[in-house]
Amino acid sequence: MRTVVITGGNKGLGLAQTSRFLEAGWTVHVVSRTEGDLGTLAPGPGRLEWQRCDLGDGSDTDYLDQVCSREGGISALVNNAGAHLKKPVWEVSPAEFQRVLDINIKSMFAACGHFVRLQGRDSDNGEAENCGAIVNISSMGGLMALPSAAAYVTAKTGVIGLTRSVAVDGASRGIRCNAVCPGFIDTDMTRAILEKDPARRERIERRIPSRRFGLPDDVANAVHFLASDESRYVNGAILPVDGGYAVGF
């Protein structure tokens, strides 16, 4: 059975990813500070495990060792945990900037390196293949600046550079690494913000070429594809899931 570790797989976009992998029969290990909404998931053909872990200091990778020793290996890692900071650049303190970097990119950097160390296999002839896949969750904010999100945009842009670097370094050890950049997705958080400002929601919808917000399942399907063998020759891809927002209107 294939095993995936999903950081922040307990709510929001991560919960939809957990559900998608369970439906496809994977063993899913969710890593987060709380159990969040995991209790709402219908049992699928897969198996669900949860591990409490605070990734906020950006260096903990013990959770990967624990899953590896319990399951005998990890097929895929989804680095989804993240946090936003809605402030213009001049209002962000050094401590706030550091916190955003720690959860959105430092923890991801540590996880990518450790995953390649654990799962990768050196190949004498350069043909190591299929030792594992990493999917990093960036954002439309990794592809373009968003208003009042300087720290977040800095981190999510870094995720793209990290993904490309891991794709190149990891390939010699049989590990692929790709990123997904969600655009405007209908989550509880975006609904709560935009319910107070329906005119803004309409403006955004008009600006999206597909004329609708994305669904958490739209992101989960892309993540599942990049984690599975169906994408075995896809490495270093930066995949927007944004209804065309990043390419124009």
Ligand X SMILES: NC(=O)c1ccc[n+]([C@@H]2O[C@H](COP(=O)([O-])OP(=O)(O)OC[C@H]3O[C@@H](n4cnc5c(N)ncnc54)[C@H](OP(=O)(O)O)[C@@H]3O)[C@@H](O)[C@H]2O)c1
Catalytic residues: 152
Least distance to ligand X, CB of residue 137, Å: 4
By three-state DSSP, how is residue 57 classified?
A: helix
State which residue, 59 or 130, has the beta carbon closest to ligand X: 59
- Contact status: 139 vs ligand X (CB under 6 A): yes
Site for ligand X in 147-206 (CB under 6 A): 182, 185, 187, 189-190
Binding string, residues 72-111; x marks residues near ligand X by CB under 6 A:
--------xxxx-------------------x--------
CB 219 to ligand X: min, Å = 7
Give 5's strand partners. Answer: 29, 77
Q: Is the dihedral of CA 44, 227, 136, 183 positive or negative?
A: negative
11 binds ligand X (CB under 6 A): yes
Under rule CB under 6 A, how many of the chain's residues touch ligand X? 27
- Which range of residues in 7-15, 39-47, 69-77, 109-117 is near ligand X by CB under 6 A? 7-15
Give bridge partners of residue 7 from the DSSP assignment: 31
Secondary structure (3-state) at 3 = strand
What is the DSSP track for 123-159? -TTS----SEEEEEE--GGGTS--TTBHHHHHHHHHH
Other C-beta atoms closer than 10 Å to the C-beta of 2 total 18
Among residues 14, 120, 174, 243, which is the contact residue for ligand X, using CB under 6 A?
14
Give rounded-to-5 percent helix, strand, coil for the chain: 45, 15, 35
Told to check if 241 binds ligand X by CB under 6 A, we report no
Count of all residues that appear for the chain in the document: 249
Positions touching ligand X (CB under 6 A) are: 7-8, 10-14, 32-34, 36, 53-56, 80-83, 103, 137, 139, 182, 185, 187, 189-190
